């Protein structure tokens, strides 16, 4: 039974890591698009993402311009 629990924990940790990595990539892309002067609508359209998610990321990046991608991700998790 303990082996199954350990395997389940490892799968769960792996899934969390994958989600964090995807979020980090999204934050990086949004930062680049902001630097180009893109709007929330354009970024969401270009990245084929939900506007609400992009708007949250966009607002955090604008509010904390001194924070890097990982720090912005920590606000979202």
Contact partners, residue 20, CB within 8 Å, separation at least 6: 73, 77
- Provide block-wise average pLDDT over 10 residues at a time, the chain (77 residues): 77 88 97 97 97 97 96 93
Burial of 72 by CB count in 10 Å (0-12 exposed, 13-18 middle, 19+ buried)? buried
Q: What is the pTM of this model?
A: 0.86
């Amino acid at each position: 039974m303990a082996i199954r629990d350990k395997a389940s924990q490892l799968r769960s940790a792996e899934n969390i890591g994958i989600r964090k990595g995807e979020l980090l990539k999204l934050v990086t892309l949004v930062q680049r698009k902001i630097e180009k002067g893109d709007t929330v609508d354009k970024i969401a359209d270009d990245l084929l993402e939900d506007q609400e998610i992009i708007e949250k990321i966009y607002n955090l990046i604008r509010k904390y311009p001194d924070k890097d991608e990982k720090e912005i991700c920590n606000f979202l998790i």
